[in-house]
Amino acid sequence: MRRRILLRPEAERDLDEQADYIARDHSLEAALRFYAAVEETLALLMAQPRMGTARRFRNPLLSGVRMCVVRGWEKHLVFYRPVKGGIDVLRILHGARDLERLFK
């Protein structure tokens, strides 16, 4: 069976917003490196879905959510669930954000 990555619309938006910020604050090259690092991280998670850290949120609908640092971007986090055949990526966020509020 071929493994797959389901990237939720919120995660796509997060990714593009962060890359846009990086491009404005640093450079287009840095933003492209960020995209590549996220792609590499998602490929690793797809191959080893349990490698991220289990997270607990107050919202019971978020049970099973795991978190992994984007490789080379230690303040950026991927929140996902392992699912049959791959991973379900919920959000890609900067760690300084109010995560509890975002995951209500």
pLDDT above 90 (res 13): yes
Alpha-carbon distance of 87 to 1, in angstroms, equals 14
> Which of 12, 5, 6 minimizes the C-alpha distance to 93?
12
Nearest to 38 by CA among 100, 89, 102, 98: 89
Average pLDDT for 20-46 = 96
Express the helix, strand and coil content of the chain in percent, nearest 5 each.
40, 30, 30
Q: Delineate the domains of the chain, giving CATH numbers in brackets.
A: 4-95 (3.30.2310.20)
pLDDT digits (tens, 9 = 90+) for 40-60: 999 999 999 999 999 887 888
Share of the chain above pLDDT 70, in %: 95
